[in-house]
Copies of this chain bind each other. A is one copy, B any other.
Amino acid sequence: MNQEKINFNAGPAALPAIVIKQAADAVLQYKNTGISILELPHRGPEFLAIIEESKALVKELCNLGNDHEVLWLQGGGRLQFSMIPMNFLTPQDTAGYIDSGHWAAEAMEYGAYYGHIQVMGSSRATHYDHLPEWPQEIPNHLKYLHITTNNTIYGTQYAHVPKINVPLIADMSSDIFSCTRDYSNYDLIYAAAQKNLGTPGVALVIVKKELLSRIANHVPPMLNYKAQAHENSILNTANVSGVYTSLLMLRWIKEKGIANIEAENNRKAELLYNAIDNSSLFTGYVKNPAHRSKMNVCFTAVNKEIEQAFLKLCAENNIIGIQGHRSTGGFRVSIYNAVEEASVITLVELMKKFETNS
Report A's interface with B, CB cutoff 8 A: 1-2, 4-5, 7, 9, 11-15, 20-21, 23-25, 27-29, 33-36, 38-42, 74-79, 81-82, 109-110, 113, 192, 194, 198-202, 218-223, 235-242, 245, 318, 320-321
Q: A74-B74, A76-B236, A79-B75 are in contact. Are A318 and B34 (CB under 8 A)?
A: yes
Which residues of the other chain, B, contact A14 by a CB distance below 8 angstroms? 35, 39
Contact of A41 among B9, B20, B27 (CB under 8 A): B9
A54 to chain B, nearest CB (A): 15
Which residues of the other chain, B, contact A7 by a CB distance below 8 angstroms? 34-35, 39
A49 to chain B, nearest CB (A): 16
CA A41 – CA B5 in complex, angstroms? Answer: 14
CA A42 – CA B13 in complex, angstroms? Answer: 11
Which residues of the other chain, B, contact A109 by a CB distance below 8 angstroms? 220
Secondary structure of the A contact surface, majority rule: loop
Which residues of the other chain, B, contact A74 by a CB distance below 8 angstroms? 74-76, 79, 201, 239
Which residues of the other chain, B, contact A27 by a CB distance below 8 angstroms? 20, 23-24, 27
CA A35 – CA B219 in complex, angstroms? Answer: 40
Q: A13-B39, A39-B14 are in contact. Are A78 and B222 (CB under 8 A)?
A: yes
CA A321 – CA B40 in complex, angstroms? Answer: 11
CA A164 – CA B117 in complex, angstroms? Answer: 43
Which residues of the other chain, B, contact A242 by a CB distance below 8 angstroms? 201, 239, 241-242
B222 touches A75 (CB 8 A): yes
CA A236 – CA B28 in complex, angstroms? Answer: 29
B79 touches A222 (CB 8 A): yes
What would 9 A/B residue contacts be, using CB atoms closer than 8 Å? A5-B35, A7-B35, A7-B39, A12-B38, A20-B38, A20-B39, A23-B36, A39-B199, A200-B240
A110 touches B220 (CB 8 A): yes
A248 to chain B, nearest CB (A): 10
Q: A75-B222, A113-B218 are in contact. Are A12 and B24 (CB under 8 A)?
A: no
Contact of A20 among B15, B36, B198, B238 (CB under 8 A): B36
CA A62 – CA B245 in complex, angstroms? Answer: 33
B33 touches A5 (CB 8 A): yes
A38 touches B23 (CB 8 A): yes
Contact of A78 among B79, B81, B236, B241 (CB under 8 A): B236
B77 touches A236 (CB 8 A): yes
CA A9 – CA B33 in complex, angstroms? Answer: 13
A91 to chain B, nearest CB (A): 11
A29 touches B2 (CB 8 A): yes
CA A28 – CA B19 in complex, angstroms? Answer: 10
B41 touches A28 (CB 8 A): no
A38 touches B318 (CB 8 A): no
A87 to chain B, nearest CB (A): 13
CA A196 – CA B39 in complex, angstroms? Answer: 11
B41 touches A15 (CB 8 A): no
Q: Which 6 A-B pairs have the closest CB atoms?
A: A201-B239, A5-B34, A4-B34, A24-B27, A78-B236, A38-B199
